Amino acid sequence: MELLANPSHLEIINPVVMGKVRAENHIASTFAGTEDRDLVVPFLIHGDAAFSGQGVVYESLQMQTLANYTVGGSIHVIVNNQIGYTTVPAKGRSGMYASDLAKAVNAPIFHVNADSLEDVS
């Protein structure tokens, strides 16, 4: 596991993570003698406002199937901290959830109540 530094709440680190994972996958698959892109998996953590409000997240999701950019999939965790906007969520995005953006690429979405983690299992 490696953690890349993110200078602020901005999502500019997303394409950096994707590029690093693509390179790591290329090196790992070369040594393994395979073309798989699932040897290294990107794991990104977002605030709710940053995920739905910054275009770089959507751009990163849209590049998922481009041959020269794909990383084979990624895991995104969205923390619903509701501090990114100075307005209520209903006036800051058109969807009910910040994760609605991921519906554009048919990504599976799991909503978990962090106050009741026992309910997840």
* 62-111 pLDDT tens trace: 888 888 888 888 899 888 776 666 667 777 778 888 888 899 889 999 88
* pTM for this predicted structure: 0.81
Q: Which helix (H) or strand (E) segment is 42 a member of?
A: none
- Copy the structure tokens of residue 92: 């800051």
Q: Check residue 21 and give its pLDDT.
A: 92
More confident call, 118 vs 76: 76
pLDDT over threshold 90, residue 20: yes
Distance CA 111, CA 109 (A): 7
Residue type, position 65, single letter: T
Q: Confirm if 45 and 79 have CB atoms less than 8 A apart.
A: yes
Secondary structure letter of residue 34 according to DSSP: S
Q: Check residue 54 and give its pLDDT.
A: 79
Q: Confirm if 14 and 51 have CB atoms less than 8 A apart.
A: no
* 24-71 pLDDT tens trace: 988 988 888 887 777 888 999 888 888 877 788 888 888 888 888 888
Q: Confirm if 99 and 51 have CB atoms less than 8 A apart.
A: yes
Give CA separation, 77 vs 18, 37, 73, 111, in Å: 15, 21, 13, 10
pLDDT over threshold 70, residue 1: yes
Integer-rounded Cα radius of gyration of the chain: 16
- Copy the structure tokens of residue 34: 């395979």
